[in-house]
Amino acid sequence: MEESKKCPFSNVSFGDGAASFSSSTGPRLATSKRTDSIASYGSSRSSVGTLDKTPKSRAIRREVETGIGHGFKRCYYPDYLRLDQLLSLQRPYSESCEGSEHDKGFAHDEMLFIITHQTYELWFKQIIFEFESVHRTFSKTIIEDHDMALVNERLSRVRAIQSLLVGALPVLETMTPMDFLEFRDFLTPASGFQSVQFRIIEVMMGLPLSKTRRMYGSPEFFTSKFHPSDLERALEWENRPSLAELTEKWLERLPLPNFDWLSQYKSAVYAMLDSDEQTVKQVFGSTSISDEESVDGEDEEHPDGEGGGGCPFFAHQGGRGAERLEQELQALRATKATFESLFHDEQHSEMVSRGVRRWSRTATLNALFIFLYRDLPLLQMPFQFLQNLLEIDNGFTQWRLAHAQMAQRMLGTKIGTGATSGSEYLTRAAKANKVFLDLHNLSTYLVPRGMLPQLPPHILKMLKFPEATELLGDGMAKKDAI
């Protein structure tokens, strides 16, 4: 009889090293009564070993032990999840220092703090796992439709995880600032800044460590915060193409319509801007202003507020209607200049050199085409992919800002435990660390659907799903007609 196989997760032992760790920068974690009661969970297997001695319970036990009908010993839930090890990893520093010179009493809320951040790290691991899958797919020269569908599933999962990251903060905020101060000193110099996995996520997306270093002025300060082996893990990903770079290359390769679409789009843009100018003049006044003229002080002769080009809404401003009109027209001219930079290679390259844009003009125009004609069947998955990247970028910005607000609540203007500027650093990072800047800027270049250039019939046919007659052939179509 064939010997039954053993579940690979059954009764796995990690040894003492997995249940405790020591740090060269902090006190060694000591075993205590409180954490012993938690760490011992699942170690005795009493839930199976003490079943009632009834025929039914003995039958259940035989199935658990022999795995009837499966060919191997059944996995036991605590073994599969390795709960012995997982639940022994919450060791509050405030508890390990009981009885020592650093004893300040057990800080009850430190357990919440540890579990929340350990949960974050587990979700970061899952995000990296999903990003690795997307990275492998987009490293291919040709990306099939089914690959794109799978990529969108992976990225949608990351977006769902991000909602959990933000959703965990209200739980952490049940801890008051005074509760946090009970154990804050034990954390120094540890900091969430040192989350290697989050740094890897940033690098994988397209935020190089060099940019993060510049936020501190000194590269040495940044690198000194990490263990060399951890820093090496992040640098390993920096030497590979990021998701932003892979997306740019993919956009450049897209076989989008080969016709004079750009000139038609340019005409639509100018028509839209002319319409906007007429609306501005109707709302803010009827004064005609050329690109070179200024109207500063034009209506100073109307101190009673009846100037402003006859716009009653701004009459109460004491004749400032013309000034506001010029401001709005100046904004329209700036918008027109932004569009012009998209139409010319030299201007686009200059904006890339200034860091205002990052992708090539070809990639940007192809992304714009996808956004404008997103409703066409064969552009829906590419649009969903770009939208997922945009929302993931927004999701991390939202999480950073929420984190900054929580830090402000907990710390006020104190520096963080990692010697950073606390909430000020987090707010600055949230605003500066957008990865997919070009996708964020695409909304500037959208035009109303009614103004979109009409695509030629052969282009529309290429971007729609094939008809049944095309899939089955003329013979099947004739048969159906009969």
**What are the structure tokens assigned to 173, written together?**
């905020």
Phi/psi class of residue 174: alpha, beta or left (left: φ > 0; alpha: ψ in -120 to 50)? alpha
| Non-local CB neighbours of 275 within 8 Å, separated by 6+ positions | none
Give the type of residue at 260: D
Cis geometry, peptide bond prior to residue 189 (ω within 30 degrees of 0) = yes
How far, in whole angstroms, is CA 463 from its chain's centroid?
A: 30
User: Is residue 428 a known part of a binding site?
Assistant: no
The closest alpha carbon to 210, from 415, 395, 128, 202, belongs to 202
The Cα 50–Cα 60 span in angstroms is: 12
Q: Residue 222 in contact with residue 185, Cβ under 8 Å?
A: no
The Cα 65–Cα 426 span in angstroms is: 52
Q: How many CB atoms lie within 10 A of CB 459?
A: 17
The Cα 408–Cα 405 span in angstroms is: 5
Residue 206: how many CA atoms within 13 Å on its side-chain side? 20
**What are the structure tokens assigned to 115, written together?**
């579990």
Q: Which residue has the tokens 């090496």?
A: 232
How far, in whole angstroms, is CA 18 from its chain's centroid?
A: 31
Helix (H, G, I), strand (E, B) or coil at 5: strand
The closest alpha carbon to 152, from 477, 421, 476, 383, belongs to 383
Phi, psi of 72 (to 5 degrees): -150, 160
What stretch of H or E contains 471?
Answer: helix 468-472
What stretch of H or E contains 204?
Answer: helix 196-205
Give the type of residue at 113: F
What stretch of H or E contains 432?
Answer: helix 423-432
- What DSSP letter does each residue of 15-61 carry, written as one string? -HHHH----TTSPPPPP-HHHHHHHTTTSS-HHHHT--SSHHHHHHH
Give binding residues for substrate as ranges: 214
Give binding residues as ranges: 214
